[in-house]
A and B are shown apart, each in its own frame.
Chain A
Amino acid sequence: MYRFKWQDLGNIENGRPNLGKNTPVAVYRLMQYTMRSVLFEQFGPVEASQLFYKAGELAGVEFCKNLLDTSLGIDAFLADLQRCMKEFEIGILRVEETGVDGSNFVLVIAEDLDCSGLPPTGETVCEYDEGFLAGVMSTYLNRKVVAKEIDCWAKGDRVCRFRLT
């Protein structure tokens, strides 16, 4: 059974000496939304959304383990996460709230890779992002973190806002 490993991303620079390591957002979304279409059709919206959340969570865990410095304090860690998400062009992370005990966060991702610029559909579509943020913060805090999108571009909110508990 396949289990994702960071090394599975391969050596992109060697593999794409001419095309380089970046690809247009549209290509990413083409895969994301075609996959979404198939999963929704195969499993229904609830289960499909859960699958996206789980995939995002796995990505967040690996992202945190491989690219972030978990020895930092929470403020420095959030700044590092912000820098890293910008560097990988995932989105512009903005922190709105951090709980007094560091347990509750309200994070905003502007120019989100998954949904920014989508026509309003009245539905949140950022389950993958939810899972991603939950995976990152779970790994850093070393406890189960749940993320919930409370505003979404796809619902006409112009930003994607997540509450992490």
Chain B
Amino acid sequence: MAVYMSKSDWLNVVNNIVKEMISGENSGYPLPGYSEIDSSGLSDAEQQLIRNIFQLRDKFAEASQFANVLSEGKLEISPPRDNNLASPVKNIHASLKHLNWHTHQLVKGDLNQQIDFLGDFSNSFNKLIEVLREKKQAEARLINSKKQLQAVFDASPDGLVISNSSGAILNASDAAVHLWNYSDFSEVAGRNIVDFVHPEEHGKTLFFLDELKQGIEYSRVEYRMVRSDGSEFFCEVSGRKIIETENINELFLFAIRDITQRKLAEQALRESEERFRTLFDTAAAGIYIVRDGRFVEVNPAITTITGYSRCELLNMELKQLLHPENYKDLISMSFKRQKGETAPFAFEAKIIARNGSEKWVAVNSGRIIFEGQPSNIGSAFDITERKNLEKQLISNLDIRDKFFSVIAHDLKGPVGSMDSFLDILIKTDWDVGMMKEYLQMLKKTSSKVYELLLDLLSWAQTQRGEIRFQPQMNNLFHLVQQNIEVQSTYLFNKRIEVRNNVHPDFNFTFDQELLNTVIRNLLSNAIKYSQSGGEIIISSELNRNEVLISIADEGVGMTEEQTNMIFDNRLRVKSKPGTEGETGTGLGLLLCKEFVAKHNGRITIQSKPGSGSTFRVILPV
């Protein structure tokens, strides 16, 4: 049953409700519910006011309880509905729940979230997330870096080993394990790296370990290591100190590279080089290497061929050694090869030895890389002797050809004539006069053949070196006079006069037989090329230490070209017919030249077509 309350009671109730709301404490005054009170004594406005105050009290209590529970951190509380007093707290509740969710997300590792528009909360939380993101990224980078490092460690063809400062192996790549002929890291883990080094190099290893401790790195030091089966192998080891940051332990990293194959290759190369060097030094052929036109290496045989020492050659250019005749050709060949054109790699060339003599060498050359640079290598044989023999052989062939030519042509005619005369004499009944005339013609031809045979014999003796030079004091006048008399019939027939202007008492030392041949041939030629009625003058003079004998005619003379060719036996000059068709072998002048040369003298010719010729024999006395 509702309790009636007076207005003052109502005021008391309302006052206590407000006091409790303000103080938050129980006033001790019994406060009934609104429905328990009879408010009929109040006006409608007063009743409405009191109802609102009671409703305010209930909403306040609900909001306070919600805030109290929330203040205990109990976010799962359901927020009151339709309570405006609780609205700000509900906002806080929503924010706290959101932060709570975020915190759970962080615990899960979710760093994608962002808190917006929550004042200091947002700033701090977002900063925290940012820091965590950076840390996560750093961790990811670190993990990635470790993975990359591990990948490098695993994939490196060099064996990689990490040991502690005592050398105990903490980690080793598969490559390292296999280098030592083990199959698994567990077989080498914890063992000292020194155990894998050849005993003779333990001292060196310990020394390097000490240096590593002092922070000194070393790289590519050669070691001998031993495999599990006791076999040795060569390797290069690089080492450095690394720091493990987590516990600040000193660690050593070793990179081990198997260089056995390289060492074997080096050994083979060394042996090959030694073989090449031995061959180079002992070869009979001269061997040289040239770069940019200069000698960069020569063997002893080259020094023998050239006469230059190794030191001299290494300071010389190739062109200094080559004969000028060959230099241009060889440079041209070299350029052709450089341009990729074809040029002979084998050739013969003349060089000038240190003593100035000319030598022939046969050269084979090719391209090589020497001391890392493109160079030419060549081998050279001294072929001077062979060349001289070739020259001699050619000369001998010339002699042979000349000999056969004379026999074939120059003897054939007169002997044929004599044969014909003899046929006529045998087959015909001649009177004595006619027979004598034919016999004189036969004699003339016979004398000519005989003279030719004498020349041929002399020439053959000369070529074989059988002519002996026997100078004696002789009289030149008599020698000239004898020859004029021998030719008297010939001179008579051509009506040619010879004047011997040599002083009758002119004596000097000469080989009577050889100079006789010279005078005979020069006089015979002068008659042969003189016109009928002409004059020949033979004279002599003593000029200081030389005797000059001249035979001058007024005959047909010669051109300058003919004069220059006349003593060149290589050209095999054919004798020109005389003014009355006289023939000759061409041997006479060659004999003159040879025999005057035996006296260390010389012959000069002064001639002009149509004005005659003057041959001068100049002999030393």
Shortest beta-carbon distance from B187 to chain A in Å: 45
Complex Cα gap A151–B91 (Å): 11
In this assembly, does B110 line the interface, its C-beta being within 8 Å of a C-beta of chain A?
Answer: yes
In this assembly, does A157 line the interface, its C-beta being within 8 Å of a C-beta of chain B?
Answer: yes
**Contact residue among A98, A110, A158 (Cβ-Cβ distance under 8 Å from B117):** A110
Known: A94-B94, A95-B101. A151 touches B79 (CB 8 A): yes
Shortest beta-carbon distance from B94 to chain A in Å: 5
User: Which residue from chain A places its CB closest to the CB of B80 in the assembled complex?
Assistant: A157
In this assembly, does B341 line the interface, its C-beta being within 8 Å of a C-beta of chain A?
Answer: no
**Contact residue among A78, A92, A151 (Cβ-Cβ distance under 8 Å from B116):** A92
Contact digits for A70-97, partner B, Cβ 8 Å, 1 yes 0 no: 0000011011101100100000101111
Q: Are B82 and A122 in contact (CB under 8 A)?
A: yes
Q: Are B94 and A75 in contact (CB under 8 A)?
A: no
Q: Which of A80, A82, A157 has the most CB of B within 10 A?
A: A157
Complex Cα gap A79–B105 (Å): 11
Complex Cα gap A110–B122 (Å): 14
Interfacial chain B residues near A111, Cβ < 8 Å: 117
Interfacial chain A residues near B112, Cβ < 8 Å: 75-76, 78-80
Contact digits for B94-106, partner A, Cβ 8 Å, 1 yes 0 no: 1101101110010
**Contact residue among B84, B101, B108, B114 (Cβ-Cβ distance under 8 Å from A96):** B101
**Contact residue among A80, A95, A120, A157 (Cβ-Cβ distance under 8 Å from B90):** A157
User: Which residue from chain B places its CB closest to the CB of A95 in the assembled complex?
Assistant: B101
Interfacial chain B residues near A110, Cβ < 8 Å: 91, 94, 117
Interfacial chain A residues near B98, Cβ < 8 Å: 94-96, 108
Shortest beta-carbon distance from A48 to chain B in Å: 22
A-B contact count, CB below 8 Å?
Answer: 70
User: Which residue from chain B places its CB closest to the CB of A78 in the assembled complex?
Assistant: B113
Complex Cα gap A51–B111 (Å): 38
In this assembly, does B87 line the interface, its C-beta being within 8 Å of a C-beta of chain A?
Answer: yes
Q: Are B114 and A79 in contact (CB under 8 A)?
A: yes
Q: Are B90 and A82 in contact (CB under 8 A)?
A: no
In this assembly, does B83 line the interface, its C-beta being within 8 Å of a C-beta of chain A?
Answer: yes
**Contact residue among B87, B101, B113 (Cβ-Cβ distance under 8 Å from A157):** B87
Interfacial chain B residues near A156, Cβ < 8 Å: 82-84, 87
In this assembly, does A54 line the interface, its C-beta being within 8 Å of a C-beta of chain B?
Answer: no
In this assembly, does A148 line the interface, its C-beta being within 8 Å of a C-beta of chain B?
Answer: no
Shortest beta-carbon distance from A71 to chain B in Å: 14
Complex Cα gap A110–B91 (Å): 9
Q: Are A75 and B105 in contact (CB under 8 A)?
A: yes
Q: Which of A79, A94, A159, A161 has the most CB of B within 10 A?
A: A94
In this assembly, does A36 line the interface, its C-beta being within 8 Å of a C-beta of chain B?
Answer: no
Shortest beta-carbon distance from B100 to chain A in Å: 8
Complex Cα gap A95–B94 (Å): 9
Q: Are A155 and B97 in contact (CB under 8 A)?
A: no
Contact digits for A2-37, partner B, Cβ 8 Å, 1 yes 0 no: 000000000000000000000000000000000000
Complex Cα gap A110–B93 (Å): 13
**Contact residue among B82, B87, B94, B113 (Cβ-Cβ distance under 8 Å from A108):** B94
Shortest beta-carbon distance from A155 to chain B in Å: 6
Complex Cα gap A151–B116 (Å): 20
Known: A158-B90, A158-B91. A82 touches B114 (CB 8 A): yes
Interfacial chain A residues near B116, Cβ < 8 Å: 82, 86, 92
Interfacial chain A residues near B81, Cβ < 8 Å: 151, 155, 157
Q: Are B101 and A97 in contact (CB under 8 A)?
A: yes
Interfacial chain A residues near B114, Cβ < 8 Å: 79, 82-83
Complex Cα gap A97–B95 (Å): 12
Shortest beta-carbon distance from B60 to chain A in Å: 15
Main secondary structure of the interface of B (DSSP, over half): helix
Q: Which residues of B from 389 to 423 have beta carbons under 8 Å from A?
A: none
In this assembly, does B88 line the interface, its C-beta being within 8 Å of a C-beta of chain A?
Answer: yes
Shortest beta-carbon distance from A128 to chain B in Å: 20
**Contact residue among A97, A122, A159 (Cβ-Cβ distance under 8 Å from B91):** A159
Complex Cα gap A75–B109 (Å): 10
Interfacial chain B residues near A159, Cβ < 8 Å: 90-91, 94
Interfacial chain B residues near A97, Cβ < 8 Å: 97, 101
Known: A151-B79, A158-B87, A159-B91. A82 touches B101 (CB 8 A): no
Known: A75-B105, A110-B117. A120 touches B84 (CB 8 A): yes
Interfacial chain B residues near A120, Cβ < 8 Å: 84
User: Which residue from chain B places its CB closest to the CB of A72 in the assembled complex?
Assistant: B112
Complex Cα gap A158–B100 (Å): 19
Complex Cα gap A151–B115 (Å): 21
Complex Cα gap A157–B81 (Å): 8
Shortest beta-carbon distance from B105 to chain A in Å: 6
Complex Cα gap A83–B115 (Å): 10
Interfacial chain A residues near B100, Cβ < 8 Å: 96
Interfacial chain A residues near B79, Cβ < 8 Å: 151, 157
Interfacial chain A residues near B113, Cβ < 8 Å: 75, 78-79, 82, 95
Interfacial chain B residues near A106, Cβ < 8 Å: 97
Q: Which of B79, B95, B113 has the most CB of A within 10 A?
A: B113
User: Which residue from chain A places its CB closest to the CB of B100 in the assembled complex?
Assistant: A96
Complex Cα gap A152–B196 (Å): 79
Q: Which of A76, A86, A122, A158 has the most CB of B within 10 A?
A: A158
Interfacial chain A residues near B88, Cβ < 8 Å: 158
Shortest beta-carbon distance from B355 to chain A in Å: 96
Shortest beta-carbon distance from B56 to chain A in Å: 14
Shortest beta-carbon distance from B179 to chain A in Å: 46
Shortest beta-carbon distance from A88 to chain B in Å: 13
Shortest beta-carbon distance from B228 to chain A in Å: 51
Shortest beta-carbon distance from A21 to chain B in Å: 21
User: Which residue from chain A places its CB closest to the CB of B97 in the assembled complex?
Assistant: A96
Shortest beta-carbon distance from B231 to chain A in Å: 57
Interfacial chain A residues near B117, Cβ < 8 Å: 92, 110-111
Complex Cα gap A86–B118 (Å): 14
Interfacial chain B residues near A82, Cβ < 8 Å: 113-114, 116
Complex Cα gap A120–B101 (Å): 28
Complex Cα gap A97–B84 (Å): 24
Complex Cα gap A158–B63 (Å): 14
Interfacial chain B residues near A151, Cβ < 8 Å: 79, 81, 90, 94
Contact digits for B111-134, partner A, Cβ 8 Å, 1 yes 0 no: 011111100000000000000000
Interfacial chain B residues near A83, Cβ < 8 Å: 114
User: Which residue from chain A places its CB closest to the CB of B75 in the assembled complex?
Assistant: A96
User: Which residue from chain B places its CB closest to the CB of A106 in the assembled complex?
Assistant: B97
What are some 17 contacts across the A-B interface (CB < 8 A)?
A75-B110, A80-B112, A82-B116, A86-B116, A92-B117, A96-B97, A96-B98, A96-B100, A96-B101, A108-B97, A110-B117, A122-B82, A151-B79, A157-B87, A157-B90, A159-B90, A159-B94
The 8 lowest CB-CB distance pairs between A and B, nearest first, are A94-B98, A79-B112, A75-B110, A96-B97, A158-B91, A158-B87, A156-B84, A76-B112
B residues adjacent to A (C-beta < 8 A): 79, 81-84, 87-88, 90-91, 94-95, 97-98, 100-102, 105, 108, 110, 112-117
12 new A-B contacts, CB < 8 A, other than A96-B97, A96-B100, A96-B101, are: A75-B108, A79-B112, A79-B114, A86-B116, A95-B98, A97-B101, A110-B91, A155-B82, A156-B82, A156-B83, A158-B88, A158-B94
